[in-house]
Amino acid sequence: AQTVTQSQPEMSVQEAETVTLSCTYDTSENNYYLFWYKQPPSRQMILVIRQEAYKQQNATENRFSVNFQKAAKSFSLKISDSQLGDTAMYFCAFMKLLTGANSKLTFGKGITLSVRP
């Protein structure tokens, strides 16, 4: 079974600054996806960024980037130039990679990020 751990329940960052959210996971699988999802208050969860475990290059999406350390089973999210709209709960999630057949995500507990004006 897989586990995902987000040890920081809350973080706060000043607008325009950079913040890093931590995530560790445990699995015996070799092929998998890792995700960061964002859940704004009272709004639907959306994908922030995705990383395939077989890719050594860290994923980036505009202001969002990850630091993926496969051996250490660590997957942190860096948000640069934080904006007020980044205020949300952020979930780290794991999915086994199965050809054509899998939609089961294992989530961490989440971290509440507040961006201060």
Partner 1 sequence: KAGVTQTPRYLIKTRGQQVTLSCSPISGHRSVSWYQQTPGQGLQFLFEYFSETQRNKGNFPGRFSGRQFSNSRSEMNVSTLELGDSALYLCASSPSVGRDTGELFFGEGSRLTVL
Residues 30 and 12: their CA atoms lie apart, in Å, by 34
- Do strands 46-52 and 32-39 pair parallel, antiparallel, or not at all (unpaired)? antiparallel
- Say what the alpha-carbon torsion angle 28, 21, 114, 103 is, to the nearest 10 degrees: -30
Binder among 13, 21, 25, 35 for partner 1 (CB under 8 A)? 35
Q: Shortest gap between Cβ of 62 and partner 1 (angstroms)?
A: 16
3 lies in the binding site for partner 1 (CB under 8 A)? no
Find the shortest distance in angstroms from Cβ 14 to partner 1.
27
Residues that bind partner 1 in the complex, under the rule CB under 8 A: 33, 35, 37, 43-47, 50, 91, 95, 97, 99-110
